Structure formats: C-alpha cells, structure tokens
Amino acid sequence: MWGAAVLAPDVRALDGYGLANKPNGVLWQGPEQARAVISATHDRYDNRNQLVSYAVSYDHKLGFHHWRANAATDRGTTDPAEPIEGVGLIAFNKHLQIQRIYEFDMKPYPLRSPEEVAAGGGGSHTA
C-alpha cells in the first residue's frame, strides 16, 4: 500500500455544529482544497496545535481526535488569539483513505480533562 493516497478523491470536511455557515456544512472538499486550507492556515497563523487524544476503530473504519491550539497568533502580531479546541470524527473508505471529516470546534468553551471536572475547575480558557 506504499504510495497510496491518504485522502480519498472525494474527501470532504464538514462543520459538525454548522457555525461556519457554509453550504451543506462543507468546509472544504477534495485533496487540493485540503492542501489550500492547510497552507492558508500556516501562512496566516503561527499556531501550536496539540493532539490531546485519539482513537481508531479498524472494524468500523472510524477515527476520533481531540485537539487544542492554545498559542495561535496572527503572523506579524504578538497578541495571542483566543484559545480554540475541538474534536473530530474521521470516516475511512474501504481502502482506508480518509473520506469524511466532521469537525466540532469548541470556541470559547474548551473541553475539560476528567481531573479538571473532578476538581471543579475550568478548561484551558480563561476569561
């Protein structure tokens, strides 16, 4: 399977909450738009993303990821952007290529760890 594409030709990312106000909730579709979004993000932001957790089920062809970006700044400024956090569901096709990504961005209400919940504390966002 070496050299096989990681993304399916019909890959698309969807806004799970509908906050982006995109037609049919589609954030981007196709490998070229995926590359363009990643490139534009790197051009605009100096971001430090952290993969908090992930899980994959081969039997169900599904993956889950939880990420956090605590220190993103617009390039050319020193003011940190508001922290953002999200979870996503990734659906793979029968060739194990990424076919659908459902993104659930949580802003400004980041998830809390079990330890933070038990302690009654907030997430990484501060008012």
Per-residue pLDDT band at 73 (split at 50, 70, 90): low
Please check whether residue 122 is in contact with residue 111, taking contact to mean a CB–CB distance below 8 angstroms. Answer: no
Domain segments of the chain: what residues? Answer: 7-119
- How many other CB atoms are there within 10 angstroms of residue 13's CB atom? 21
- Class for domain 7-119, per CATH? alpha beta
State the Cα angle at 57 between 67 and 39, rounded to 5°: 40
* Spatial distance between the Cα atoms of 9 and 100, rounded to a whole number of angstroms: 11
* Spatial distance between the Cα atoms of 105 and 69, rounded to a whole number of angstroms: 11
The pTM is what?
0.70
Asked whether the predicted pLDDT for residue 2 surpasses 50, the reply is no
**Distance between alpha carbon 114 and the CA centroid of its chain, in Å?**
21
